[in-house]
Amino acid sequence: MTFELWMVVVSVVLLFAQITIQALLLTAQLGREYNAGPRDEGTPLTGRAGRAKRMVENYLETYPAFVALALAVVVSNGSDWLTQGGTALYILGRIVYIPLYLQGISYFRSMVWILASLGLVAMTIGLIV
């Protein structure tokens, strides 16, 4: 299996880790009954639970691009140092992003997001050249 495919596997683990964090914080804030229910009330989350929800939403904004690029690299047999480095940068950036977002750390969090996004740019360039 290529490095990029391994990173797709890691990205799925990262997705489920973030969903789990969000669920735990939601349950802590609103209780098990609310979390297990249909959530028709649409009760807004605040504090860390709200940040966890937004953290997952933020991940999902770039996640399809990451998976598409990684699969394009594999299908085209285009794996090289640039695609591998971009893949690693994206995953590492998204891992570092989690505690920064949960703690509400503003500017450094944005810099980490930019670095992760540069990983997507590197993957794209690696596919093109």
**From CA 71, how far away is CA 65, in angstroms rounded?**
10
Considering the domain 3-128 in this protein, what is its CATH number? Answer: 1.20.120.550
Tell me, what's the pLDDT at 35? 77
Tell me, what's the pLDDT at 110? 95
Tell me, what's the pLDDT at 61? 97
Nearest to 90 by CA among 108, 57, 113: 113
User: What number of residues does the chain have?
Assistant: 129
Q: What is the mean pLDDT of the chain?
A: 94
Listed range (15-19, 27-31, 39-43, 123-127) with the worst mean pLDDT: 39-43
Tell me, what's the pLDDT at 39? 75
Amino acid in the structure at residue 10? V
* pLDDT digits 0-9 by tens, 35-71: 778 877 778 889 999 999 999 999 999 999 999 999 9
Written as six digits, the tokens of 46 are: 């605040």
* pLDDT digits 0-9 by tens, 77-103: 999 999 999 999 999 999 999 999 999
In 1-129, DSSP assigns E strands to none
Question: Domain limits of the chain?
Answer: 3-128
E strand or H helix that includes residue 28:
helix 3-30
